[in-house]
Structure 1
Amino acid sequence: MDRFIELLNRKVLPFANKMGTQRHMTAIRKGIISTLPLTIVGSFFTLINNIPIPVVEKFMLPYKEMLDVPFRYTVGILALYATFGIASALAESYKMDRLTSGILAVLAFLISTAAPIHVLKNVDGVIDAGRYINIANLSASSLFASIVTALLTVEIYRFLKDRNITIKMPEGVPPEVSNSFVALIPAAIILLIFWVIKFVFGFNIATFLSTVLMPLKGVLAGNSLLGGLLTVFLITGFWVLGIHGAAIMDPIIRPFWEMSIAQNMNEFAAGTSPHHLSTIFTEQFLQWFVWIGGAGGTLALVTLFLFSRSRYLKDLGKLALLPGLFNINEPIVFGAPIVMNPLLGIPFILGPIVTATLAYVLTVTGIIPMMMIRLPFTVPGPIGAFISTNWSVPALILGVVNYLIDLAIYYPFFKAFEKQQLVQESEAAKHD
């Protein structure tokens, strides 16, 4: 085991660290995460609009269309918000004007993704193309197009700015005015580039990327057990190496996660049963059924520490209990530590693999519904599972059962670790 960890340190750790701090990957992560408040709020409106109580459903029926509006303008146009966030984050890393970069990226995204090619018609005659936008083109299904257009826009803007292909204003002009004129030529060039790509060459970035990347989505954030377990293994494995697993995986898998939960939410809002939605392995599936107490299912370990004979582990358990209840587990991951610790690292990886497999089996057999809304990650696991599956009692029970499974898996490793700790404390006491 020590040799394996040493190999990972030499071969995997440098690459993972480089990926985690790479400028464009960081911008993608920051930009998409910046949309979380909107999608969480949109989720609550979906929840309110679908309370499974006949009396409440009947009362809410006249207001369903009105209550659907917040969802459509949060989750429904997620890619539009993400475009601005990603471009702003990348511009900030280059010390460029964030506001201008974000606006130019939104322009590029709308031109390349949302603008219709064909002239629209209505009963009164012809409507000029471009006056109306189908907001479905701005949803999470276009998230990869938003990433590409945001990154390309900022890089084009930076290229032009570095070569002084801009309009410079005299000294003393207010910065906001100066920045606007600096962006004038880049704005025209960016508009022209993306317009030519879409309308002259007829190339749709969103369609192309969806065709290329959808098979990968089906593996990592779809209905494949192997793909779901691979995601679990990579996230927990990176944590054991001392790297924030979610931060490393975010730029790769978060766009898929966002697309998956948005698709589930859209289908649920349209009346599809939670048992027949499109995607099992959403981020919420892992959050509420697998990451109980945080990545690695560490709430179980916190509980065991609370009853430890080791003074240090007992005190650490008390310290980590409150954060653990709300799925924040850095105190236990770095305090025990789990990082670079084979005794605790093995159950940290093994437990989530077992609980994810059980949750998957119960989902595909129709016992547990799929996830259909997004909640803040700080909601305690079983409660989050209960709400996110349209108030499913079996989901609530599964959350508790998975916690007990984590307890059973951690227990023998905890006892071995506790024994080591007691020996160390005994030796320390002799030298006091």
Structure 2
Amino acid sequence: MFEKLESAIMVLGEKLNNNKILMVLRDSFMLAFPLTIFGSIMLVIANFPYLGKLIGEANLASLQNILGPASTATMSVTTIFVTLGIGYYLCKELGGEPIYGATVSFVAFLLLTPFEAPIEDTGNMLSSVLAIDRLGAKGMFIGMFAAFAAAYIYSTIVNKNWTIKMPPTVPPAVSKSFSALIPACLTLTIFLLLRAVFALTPWENAHDFVYQIIQAPLTNLGKGIVPTLIAIFAIQILWFFGLHGQIIVNSVMDPIWNTLTLENFNAFSAGQELTNVVTKQFMETFTVSLGGTGMTLVVVFSMLAFMKSKQLKEVGKLAAPAAIFNVNEPVIFGLPIVLNPMIVIPWVLAPMISTGVAYASMATGLVPMTTGVSVPWTVPVLLSGFLATNSIRGSILQLVQMAIVFVVWLPFLKALDKRNYQEEQDLDKSQGEELKEEAK
């Protein structure tokens, strides 16, 4: 039965891991990573706790005016980077010049975007503008759909050789531009027609249609505790069988988690109340940032401090430096955790309980929700909790989580340590007897 389960999970995991769509989506979100980190750093500086008391409210307001555009130009328009990334990476996979695939995908997204925005408190609309929220959280799903469709159509036309061929003497940049002309025009014509069709519907544009019918229901579902615990369970089980659970599950859930992150970010930037407990930062800061997948930092230090067997102490020594920065492959493969039935219960149970406690703490207001600021998953524990929530209570919550992991893991570590220690003692005794025999 165990072998059948292992086989089924391995097949499913491999299919998800090698799915081109999910790979493109993952790489596209990573394209925005350095930009959002820059915007997040500026936002953290501008909203550092008690900064107004240190430099004065007037100076703080000036500082926020100077640093504010950094987050607006990065975090608030993440959908732009995602559409560019999808077009680039999908055309790279399917055929066609990737840079033209990126620009066509972005323009296709713009063709479905309303060029008007409401004027606050008036009920009127301002024309010939792009609303920032449609380039960020609100436009995330329509941006992904448009980019995938445009890149696919563009690549298909290129692969059918419906292109203009230039003589070899023409400079490459000019030749590539002419080669992209027909595929780009045909692709964008389709999206222009789509814009006209949606204008005749009750939604009036594709953005509102996708947001109301698809994005809002999915994000509402994805931010609940039950789907979150299911995702944690899937990550742990996949890793138990040797598959990279984070990459596989995140490829599916990242669009939802990143959208929820942007909603919190926009609210935090505007000084409004945060609404989403589950975000990308929640899933990283209060799971991965406690020592890697499975929150194993406290497990590593427990092996060093409380275990007797040489094996566990050596694994602890080797794993500790990396675990501080939330890299825990030395534990996963050195303990080992992969396919180790003695470890599977705490491996799955501890992060689920710990994540449930973190969710409850934020849902009840004991700990602030994550602000949407991007905190790299390699940032050490306590510091990451503070940065993600802009509060010391985020760090305290991480300490509570580590205590939970310690309590869940300790009995199983003790049992494993006892077995290993006994085996080491028996081996030492056996080797001693062999040496005595040789001496005789």
State the TM-score, normalizing by the size of structure 1. Answer: 0.90
Give the structure with higher Rg (CA).
Answer: 2
Match of 2:295? 297
* Structure 1 segment 53-72 matched on structure 2, within 5 A: 53=50, 54-55=52-53, 56=55, 58=57, 59-72=59-72
* Aligned residue type for 2:293: A
How much does 1:95 deviate?
4.9
- State the distance in 1 between where 2:368 and 2:322 align: 28
How much does 1:407 deviate?
1.2
Secondary structure of 1:379's match? coil
How much does 1:199 deviate?
2.3
How much does 1:78 deviate?
0.3
How much does 1:426 deviate?
5.2
* Structure 1 segment 119-268 matched on structure 2, within 5 A: 131-202=128-199, 204-211=205-212, 212-220=214-222, 222=223, 224-268=224-268
> Is residue 2:346 matched to residue 1:347?
yes
Deviations 1:286-329 (A, max 9, x none): 32333310111111221122243222322221111111111111
* Aligned residue type for 1:396: S
Deviations 1:73-104 (A, max 9, x none): 10111000111112212222235322111111
Do the aligned partners of residues 117 and 193 (structure 1) sit closer, same or farther apart at CA in structure 2, a change above 3 Å counting?
A: farther
- State the distance in 2 between where 1:143 and 1:57 align: 38
Secondary structure of 1:39's match? helix
* Aligned residue type for 1:178: S
On the 8 A contact 2:95/2:158 being kept in 1, the answer is no
CA RMSD of aligned residues (A): 2.3
On the 8 A contact 1:9/1:241 being kept in 2, the answer is yes
Deviations 1:307-354 (A, max 9, x none): 432223222211111111111112211222211222222212111111
Match of 1:415? 414
How much does 1:172 deviate?
3.9
- State the distance in 2 between where 1:34 and 1:278 align: 27
Match of 1:123? none
Secondary structure of 1:52's match? coil
- State the distance in 2 between where 1:424 and 1:17 align: 36
How much does 1:237 deviate?
1.9
- State the distance in 1 between where 2:88 and 2:152 align: 12
On the 8 A contact 1:288/1:382 being kept in 2, the answer is no
- State the distance in 2 between where 1:206 and 1:242 align: 40
How much does 1:117 deviate?
10
How much does 1:428 deviate?
5.8
Moved more, 191-200 or 94-103: 94-103
The unaligned stretches of length 5 or more in structure 2 are 120-124, 435-440
* Aligned residue type for 2:90: L
Secondary structure of 2:168's match? coil
Do the aligned partners of residues 96 and 8 (structure 1) sit closer, same or farther apart at CA in structure 2, a change above 3 Å counting?
A: farther
- State the distance in 2 between where 1:168 and 1:114 align: 36
- State the distance in 2 between where 1:95 and 1:340 align: 40
Aligned length, in residue pairs: 415
Secondary structure of 1:371's match? coil
- State the distance in 1 between where 2:177 and 2:421 align: 65
How much does 1:196 deviate?
0.7
On the 8 A contact 1:113/1:137 being kept in 2, the answer is yes
Secondary structure of 2:265's match? helix
Secondary structure of 2:112's match? helix
Do the aligned partners of residues 330 and 175 (structure 1) sit closer, same or farther apart at CA in structure 2, a change above 3 Å counting?
A: farther
Match of 2:99? 99
How much does 1:57 deviate?
5.4
How much does 1:277 deviate?
0.7
State the TM-score, normalizing by the size of structure 2. Answer: 0.88
Secondary structure of 1:343's match? coil
Match of 1:396? 395
* Aligned residue type for 2:10: L
- State the distance in 2 between where 1:370 and 1:233 align: 22
Do the aligned partners of residues 95 and 414 (structure 1) sit closer, same or farther apart at CA in structure 2, a change above 3 Å counting?
A: farther
Secondary structure of 2:376's match? coil
